[in-house]
Chains A and B, each alone.
Chain A
Amino acid sequence: MAAITTLGETPITPPASGQRGVHGRRRRRLNAFRYVVFAVFALFFILPLLAMARFSFEGAKLGTWSLSAWKQITAYQGSSGIPPLSSAVEITLELAVITCGVILVLLVPTMIWVRLRVQWLSRAIEFLCLLPLTIPSIVLVVGLGPIYNKIQHYSLSALMLFWIYVILALPYAYRALSAGLGAIDVTTISEAARSLGASWFTVMVRVIAPNMRQAILNAMLLSFSLVLGEFTIAFLLLYSNLQVELYSISRNTPNAGVIFSTSFAVLLFAFVLLLILSYAGRFRRGRG
């Protein structure tokens, strides 16, 4: 509120209120800036998705709407040895679950053990876990090709891809778990548990792991999404997962809309799965 004062008169408005006004304006400007940044990023991510969704409903004539591309996904039966889509979805999900399981069984106890008992090994473990980030997929495929040739010789299923996916997911899972371990005083709570009579196994399972629930969930989410989106290695090793299947659908069907409908369906599928996992974690945490 402005006050009219003559020269030399003390203004009626207290200075604190003026400061509040300045702070308020600054806060409003900052908020506006945040909304603008958020909107720009939202458009950047959402526009291509919206375009993809729109194309997936494209009819035979340009500008018309149709569900035919979506109907063709379910109707697709595969050709020349390529299994139907449902089988690819199933394999990909199984691969994701196995990869998550192996990563957790391998990494969680190792990292806790290293933190508690062999701290001097932590640098070496970190280096090993982050190493796959620096190796291109094609190099991995070339390196592991002979092994997978042997595997294929025994007609083992695409589930065998989990070995390589575990390696690929290691850096992400390691980072997530490392952040979780860093957030708790592992040494003190494990010593407290030990002094109360807990074995090392109990310390890991009942004391430390429950406090890393969010980190474990994050590691799972990252591993899961990596497997859901992996194409290069499966394709080059001649295995068929969901991404490879989508690629073959788009190559083998005359309706271009199918590419978009399948891609969009996969995105939705992954998004819903990750959302479920994320909410499951929050729900558990809420209950304590």
Chain B
Amino acid sequence: MTSSSQTTAGTVDRSAVEVRLEGLSRHYGPVVALDHLDLTLLPGELIALLGPSGCGKTTTLRLLAGLEDADTGRITVGGRDITRLPASKRDMGMVFQAYSLFPHMTVRQNVAFGLRLRRVGSAERDRHALEMLELVGLAAQADRYPHQLSGGQQQRVALARALAIEPQVLLLDEPLSALDAKVRAQLRDQIRRIQLEVGITTLFVTHDQEEALAIADRVGVMRDGRLEQLASPTEVYSRPATSFVAEFVGLSNRLEGEVRGGEVVVRGRTLPLVERDVPDGPAVALVRPEAVTMASHTAQESGPLVGTVIAVTFLGATSRVTVDLGDTTVLAQLSTSDAADLPAGSRVALTIRPDPVLVSSSSEPAVSAAGEDE
């Protein structure tokens, strides 16, 4: 993280600020969108809020932007209370999910719009707008209209426009969700590069876990208006705080087992627990597909971890193999070259790597697909 920095296009030097959300609540009629949320963004940090539809991540961002009012709670930016400040006075740059460029203005005019409102002189405005466009690699398109740009280009211009006013905080509301996969990955990397260069405190809202894990300093996983976990991407993935986080971030196999003395026994294999103070008894262990490996099994005898490959899904460098163990199915993520030796129908013996796992009570339902829009 950087507290101040230089852009490639020129000198944009600013001090990053800390953002605090304290006890924020928001209700829509009887629906609780945000339930006493506490969140602190450190200066220059990028936090990604991740969660299923209706979890409150977009509401959090809109409250911070001033586009909605909180029922209770307090927002401070750099120590200044902005809870009751209107959106136009909050000094925040925002990039929206929908294309939000002003259709009647050229790219240059769009980027310069915020500067014009701040009464920056026309020459300085033009120079700065071009600087920002260079930053996002679109200086050559300065005189085009939004309808002459692709979706990815429009979002880059929106980013340049948000940065042009040199805001204290950058807010990104699922800015990549309308783009195709390749452009999304490119723009994601570009956003991260620019954020690091400019050193601006950033809140990024997404429903795409890969995006959140790839881009953020810390990831906040939300559910029902509350933060389930706020930690680094590695920790969220490898040491999820709750079974919801474990199942929402990445795929998890739900395997029935028995907790005994701080460990869980799953199909004859003993695995350590992330939280050791789980009471003994039956439980469901959440095992990552990449913790499962397998080899061909030619012997006749069966075992608790012997099964039949029923499907192999090609994902590029890796493949996902689905194995039927008789009473349940298990997903394993293997390198594509390893998976090639295990076509559908082959008998395999599974091995579960002894990574720490989380357990949930067997009555708790599995988390549904994580790719929904809010």
A-side contacts of B232, CB under 8 Å: none
Tell me the minimal C-beta distance from A117 to chain B in angstroms.
12
Given A191-B87, A192-B94, A288-B145: A197 and B100 interface contact (C-beta under 8 Å): no
Answer yes or no: A211 CB below 8 A from chain B CBs: yes
Interface string of A237-268 (1 = CB under 8 A from B): 00000000000000000000000000000000
Within B98-157, which residues are at the interface with A (CB < 8 Å)?
A: 98-104, 106, 113-114, 117-118, 145
B203 contacts partner chain A, Cβ-Cβ < 8 Å: no
Q: 13 extra interchain contacts, Cβ-Cβ under 8 A, other than A189-B103, A194-B66, A195-B88?
A: A188-B100, A191-B87, A191-B96, A192-B94, A194-B87, A195-B94, A196-B114, A197-B88, A197-B114, A197-B117, A199-B88, A202-B117, A207-B102
Given known pairs A210-B104, A211-B103, the reply for A195 and B98 (CB within 8 Å) is no
A-B contact pairs, 24 of them (CB 8 A): A185-B99, A188-B96, A188-B98, A189-B100, A189-B101, A189-B103, A191-B67, A191-B96, A192-B94, A194-B67, A195-B67, A195-B88, A195-B92, A196-B88, A196-B93, A196-B117, A197-B91, A197-B114, A197-B118, A197-B165, A198-B113, A199-B88, A211-B102, A288-B106
Tell me if A196 and B165 are in contact (CB < 8 A): yes
A125 in the interface, Cβ–Cβ < 8 Å? no
Contacts of A288 in B (CB 8 A): 104, 106, 145
- In the bound complex, residues from chain A placing their C-beta under 8 Å from that of B145 are 288
Q: Is the interface of B mostly helix, strand, loop or mixed?
A: loop
Q: Which residues of B contact A114 (CB under 8 A)?
A: none
Cβ of B65 under 8 Å from chain A: yes
Tell whether A194 pairs with B96 under 8 Å between CB atoms, given A211-B102, A288-B104, A288-B106: no
A164 to B44, CA, bound (A): 60
Contacts of A195 in B (CB 8 A): 65-67, 87-88, 90, 92-94, 162, 171
A248 to B315, CA, bound (A): 84
CB closest chain-B residue, reference A203: B88
Question: Size band of the A side of the interface?
Answer: 10 to 19
Contact A193:B98 (CB < 8 A) given known A211-B104, A288-B145: no
A184 interfacial by beta-carbon distance below 8 Å: yes
B161 at the interface (CB under 8 A from A): yes
Residue-wise, chain B 73-98 has the 8 Å CB interface mask toward A (1 for contact) of: 00000000000001111111110101
Using a CB–CB distance below 8 Å, which chain A residues touch chain B?
184-185, 188-189, 191-199, 202, 207, 210-211, 213, 288
Query: Dominant SS at the A interface?
Result: helix
User: Which of B86, B89, B102, B106 contacts A189 (CB under 8 A)?
Assistant: B102
Give A248 to B99 CA distance when docked, in angstroms: 57
Q: Which residue of B lies closest to A192 (CB)?
A: B100
Chain B minimum-CB-distance residue to A202 = B117
Q: Could you tell me the distance in whole angstroms from the C-beta of B219 to the nearest C-beta in chain A? A: 24
The residue among B92, B106, B113, B145 with the most chain A CB atoms within 10 A of its own CB is B113
Complexed CA–CA distance, A108 and B98 (Å): 24
Q: A198-B88, A198-B117, A202-B117 are in contact. Are A184 and B103 (CB under 8 A)?
A: yes
User: Do the beta carbons of B89 and A197 come within 8 Å of each other?
Assistant: yes
Cα–Cα, bound, A164→B194 (Å): 58
A54–B113 Cα distance when bound, in Å, is 57
A201 CB to nearest B CB, Å: 11
Complex contacts, B92 vs chain A, CB 8 Å: 195
Tell me the bound Cα distance from A193 to B162 in angstroms.
10
Contacts of B67 in A (CB 8 A): 191, 194-195
Q: Are A196 and B104 closer than 8 Å at their CB atoms?
A: no
Q: In the complex, which residues of chain A have a beta carbon less than 8 angstroms from the beta carbon of B113?
A: 193, 196, 198
A191-B87, A210-B104, A211-B103 given; A196·B98 CB < 8 A: no
Q: How far is the CA of A288 from the CA of B110 in the complex (A)?
A: 13
Q: How far is the CA of A194 from the CA of B117 in the complex (A)?
A: 11
> Are A196 and B161 neighbours in the complex by a CB distance under 8 Å?
yes
A10→B93 CA distance, assembly (Å): 68
How far is A184 from B146 in the complex, measured between Cα atoms in Å? 13
Contacts of B65 in A (CB 8 A): 191, 195
Q: Give the CA-CA distance A197 to B85 in the complex, in Å.
A: 12
Tell me the minimal C-beta distance from A267 to chain B in angstroms.
34
